[in-house]
Amino acid sequence: MKHNTKPRNTTAMKWKEFIDLHSNLSPDEEIACILWTRPDVFEKAGEEYPNVVMTDEIADEVLCRMDRKSDCENGMTWDSLEYHLEAVLQELNLI
């Protein structure tokens, strides 16, 4: 099966873009996929930084950094989410 090789930006993508990118897959085909979403970022922020008021924009920046900085050896984990969350919040002087 030929995979869709349409180039994309090196930032997190919208759900629609993800679906379009993988539209050539059969509905019965087995896949392995991990999705990170805003609620994941909000959950981790609530655990680690309960006094910080989170926004969709902050969560989006965390997700974009996770996507840009991920690699196939280490992937994206709760540790990487926490790392990028802390970095973004520090840059915004929120922690």
DSSP-derived secondary structure letter, 32: -
Does some domain include residue 19?
yes
Q: What is the pTM of this model?
A: 0.76
In a domain, 3, yes or no: no
CA distances from 38 to 1, 25, 30, 31, 66 (A): 32, 26, 26, 22, 12
Higher pLDDT, 6 or 65: 65
**pLDDT higher than threshold 60 for residue 2:** no
15 φ, ψ (degrees, to nearest 5): -55, -45
In the predicted model, what is the mean pLDDT of residues 13-27? 84
Residue 5 lies inside a defined structural domain of this protein: no
Supply the pLDDT for residue 9: 42
High-pLDDT (> 70) share of the chain, %? 88
AA letter at 36: W
Segment 53-62 long-range contacts (CB within 8 Å, at least 24 positions apart)? 58/88, 58/89, 58/92, 60/12, 61/88, 62/88
Kindly state whether residue 8 falls inside one of the protein's structural domains. no
Domain span at residue 31 reads 15-91
| 1 pLDDT higher than 90 | no
Q: Is residue 2 part of a domain?
A: no
